[in-house]
Amino acid sequence: MSVMQAMTPEPAMRPDADWWRGAVIYQVYPRSFQDSNGDGIGDLLGIVQRLPYIASLGVDAVWISPFFTSPMKDFGYDVANYRDVDPMFGTLADFDAVVETAHALGLKVMIDLVLSHTSDQHPWFKESRQDRENPKQNWYVWADPKPDGTPPNNWLSIFGGSAWHWDARRCQYYLHNFLASQPDLNFHEPAVQEALLDVARFWLERGVNGFRLDTINFYFADKQLRDNPPLPEDRRNATIAPQVNPYNYQEHIYSKNQPENLDFLRKLRAVMDPWNAAAVGEVGDAQRGLEILGEYTRGDDLMQMCYAFELLSGTRPTAARIAEVFATVDRVAADGWACWAYSNHDVMRHVSRWGLNPAASRAFATLLMCLRGSACIYQGEELGLPEAEIGYDDIQDPYGREFWPEFKGRDGCRTPMVWTDSNLNGGFSTAARTWLPVPGAHLGLSVARAETDPASLLHHYRRAISFRHAHRSLALGAQTGMHAQGDVLVFQRSCGGGDCAGNSAGETMFCAFNLSDEPAQVRLPPGNWLQVGQELNGAHAGADGIAKLGPWQPCLALKTG
């Protein structure tokens, strides 16, 4: 062994149909990204203002959380008009400016589509609830009460209590898997499916490159409305509020994950394909998430990507746990494609959730860029923002208000982005009061301060993303041999000439990560290896092929023979 040192056109099939494979996607929560008009709430023109920053990270796409017309009971995830922008975020012309600017900067644009339910203020629901004879009477999941007047079955809402709400006009219950003001659409009705496919067409025609599909496995409910069975206590492993929310006491085999969903996803894929658009689906299932990911992304006629919640877990993943997750992926989703994330708008920020020090934050950032799949980065993750402490009087999230104080909701990860260390809202807004307060503890981690520090986490994310793009095996290649050697996670990424565009000779990358506070060592496999990744604090292997890893240090090497 030797070791060496070292604007959118009309739909047409374009050569970048697989742009999503191995892509790095940056999630923007528009309420909290940049306020352009001083009302204390982020907006679309604010996103336009900050798109050059996003592009400077080297990411491939931006995912924008909902900005549609909404009463904002669940902050945009309750849609009242799928084809317009809520005035607090701007106008359709402002959205067009987002798309045009992003494309000029080389960024794809993905938007959050919430198809499983609408707001109760949506015209569809207003018509549906009028009576049992109107043209949209079957567009939502309506059901008669049991003889004693109670709900038709035992299904529970994620936000607490029964998933059924009584409507006095129809004298029926309607289904709501989330808030009572978020009635579930009836996907068994063909007209509903076609209306939603038209929504996708509308945004594709405006230039979007894809969708993040909220709660993708919730679209269909069991036609017979059968009761869900109880979930044994030892299997209650939900990411959000696992102990205090009774939703986690059921195995949701009838209220979601229905087989009919696959046919609808094929229809959606057929709508997207002429535009080379891609989708990433959110699989909301703590027990079968990876299995469903495999089902929904298998082949070339379903969704391109899905993400489950294994790396959004409350416990910091060990080398053994990550190896276990990917062993499961190999078993149930080998033909599919995952999109991995550590943080998003629904979970505590991972710096706080996992108790990471700066070295650990860097190691996990590098690891994310080396894993097989695509990757999502949540705004502020690249700054190392911790979870914000929000007092009860400032809580906006209905989830937090329901389960306070045992679960404080999701506002702590949704506070405004900090652009400067100014006490005036960190450069987010000129308003006297912002929709959520800007934490004083975040000001010292602002973009402006991080830009001036070559050793900042921000610059490390840029280097890690650049490293991924420089080595096609990391974006596109197979992943083999993943295992844990104590606290060290070891695996290889490789692709042949046909898989690695621009590299006809192919490429094999050895990856080892010390995921602990203690030193460790690892031996490189037989062969000749070129040491890479020094800009990511990569460890060197000696002539004997043994790399001595410091705490939270990777070892990365390319095979040369």
Distance CA 295, CA 247 (A): 24
For residue 399, with 0-12 CB atoms within 10 Å meaning exposed, 13-18 middle and 19 or more buried, which class applies?
Answer: buried
- 310 CB-near residues (< 8 Å, 6+ apart): 289, 290, 317, 325
Helix (H) / strand (E) containing 2: strand 2-4
Residues β-bridged to residue 376: 25, 341
Label the pairing between strands 108-113 and 172-175. unpaired
Distance CA 110, CA 23 (A): 12
Write the DSSP symbol of residue 11.
Answer: S
Catalytic residues: 214, 282
Please provide the DSSP assignment of 135-164 as one string.
Answer: TTTTSB-EEPPPTTSS-SS--B-TTSSBSE
- Cα distances (angstroms) measured from residue 146 to each of 153, 172, 253, 256, 375: 8, 10, 21, 21, 46
**φ, ψ at 36 (rounded to 5°):** -95, -15
Distance CA 150, CA 39 (A): 44
Helix boundaries (H) for 213-357:
261-272, 289-297, 319-332, 350-353
Residues β-bridged to residue 85: 68
